[in-house]
Structure 1
Amino acid sequence: MAPLPKPPAEPADDLDSYVGLDGEAAERRARERGWTTVRSLPPGAIITMEYLGGRLNFTVQSGVVERCWKG
């Protein structure tokens, strides 16, 4: 039997620390901290709900991060 795939590791990170940051600065910080995929979205964006390990999502309005979550 083949081994089970190992999901990507997620950085130990305080997601609340991104809220209030400039969107571009938040994206840079996330990549520096090891997030493999960083996604910035406008408020109310329609997105798929599948969980992707190693992905960090931001809701950005007027250039400022309003919300941050994994997956």
Structure 2
Amino acid sequence: MGTQPTPRSPSDDTPDAYVGLDAGPAERIARERGWSPVRSLPPGSIITMEYMEGRLNFEVQDGTVLRCWKG
């Protein structure tokens, strides 16, 4: 699967574009697009719910991004 065009800033990026990608390349692409930090979590992880501007979260299972959200 090819990479999507790089948006001007993380706020222009669509989290759904990462779903289905391999986690490693997805994290690299997210960082290139300005996301910092990028957090990868296994399904069902217990996490704090504080919103962090500029953070991208991946739910990853078997090396594949299942879900992605901002904050």
Name the TM tier (shorter chain).
0.7 to 0.9
What's the TM-score, normalizing by structure 2?
A: 0.84
Deviation of the 1:11 alpha carbon = 3.2
Query: 1:12 aligns to what?
Result: 12
Paired residues, number: 63
Identity across matched positions, percent:
68
Matches within 5 A, 1:30-69: 30-69=30-69
Structure whose CA Rg is larger = 1
Bigger helix share: 2
What's the TM-score, normalizing by structure 1?
A: 0.84
CA contact (8 A) 2:57 2:68 kept: yes
Task: After the TM superposition, list the runs of 4 or more consecutive aligned residues in structure 1 that deviate by more than 4 angstroms.
Answer: none
